[in-house]
Amino acid sequence: MPESQPPRAPGSKAARLRAQLNGPSVVRAVGAHDGLTAKLVQRAGFEAVWASSFEISASHGLPDASLVTMTQYLDAAIAMDAVTDIPIIADCDTGFGGPMNAAYAMQRYERAGIAALCIEDKLFPKINSFADAAQDLLPTEDFALKIKNAAEVRTDPDTLLIARTEALIAGLEVSEALERAHAYVAAGADAVLVHSKSRRPEEVLEFAGRWHSEVPLVAVPTTYHTVTESELYGAGFRLVIYANQGLRAAVKGVQEVLHDLGSATGAAAIEERIAPMAEVFALQGMPSSFRTTP
């Protein structure tokens, strides 16, 4: 039986996210791995945070390969949710195991107030979609059972369950991706993320052109980054996730600053390129009376 949970107040983050998906433009989510990066996403004006399994794994110094536990992912999502006013969309990989694991994840994340969960149809343990490795999928009916179990234990109808198909990542045809996606919607998915590692957007746009359902579509334009948000919206995508750009920017920026600091004779060489302490204090919520001027 599902755990009991008090109903959320009107205007919950989950309810707002559902309403935004019916709005006049795409909802934009950006990947984050902790409270600070989630705050930066909100400050930049984006509508949601993607609690990225890739970023959370990287923050532990580990590959995105089902090494980080559900508890670690959930703790990271809770930390992000606690310090932001925008919805958190949790990247839950394969649901952390079988159908019962997916249902348990739904209970735990929903109880914590996370607005949306995304589960993908690869085998557990998975490896990142852009890794040069085999991307093996569950049979359609097996993954549909995960979605069904997760949907059935949900106690708040506003909590979003996103089914992510990796059919295109695995090298299958658009028709296979469509067949899978329709089965997942029939099992209870509220939205469908169709993932692609193509350098061009044509295959996801073809998928959208052949998608005959009111269930909204989700895009992750990591490799096909030339596509615009308006093009995606016009094709039927209602949520666009910039899943890893923030982390990649941070890695590049930190590497460059540390390289220059390592070859300098002191910190003055990089001082103008880094955030002042006062800005970090502001992000942390430090009372203004305690903030420094540097």
Q: What is the set of active-site residues?
A: 64
State how far Cα 136 lies from the chain centre: 21
User: What is the radius of gyration, based on Cα positions, of the chain?
Assistant: 20
Rounded distance between C-alpha atoms, residue 109 and residue 105, angstroms: 6
Cα separation of the two ends of the chain: 55
CA proximity to 118, closest of 31, 178, 39, 230: 31
For tokens 């559902």, the residue is: 18
Reduced to 3 states, what is the DSSP secondary structure of residue 126?
coil
Pairing of β 27-32 and β 48-51: parallel
* 197 burial type by CB count under 10 A (0-12 exposed, 13-18 middle, 19+ buried): middle
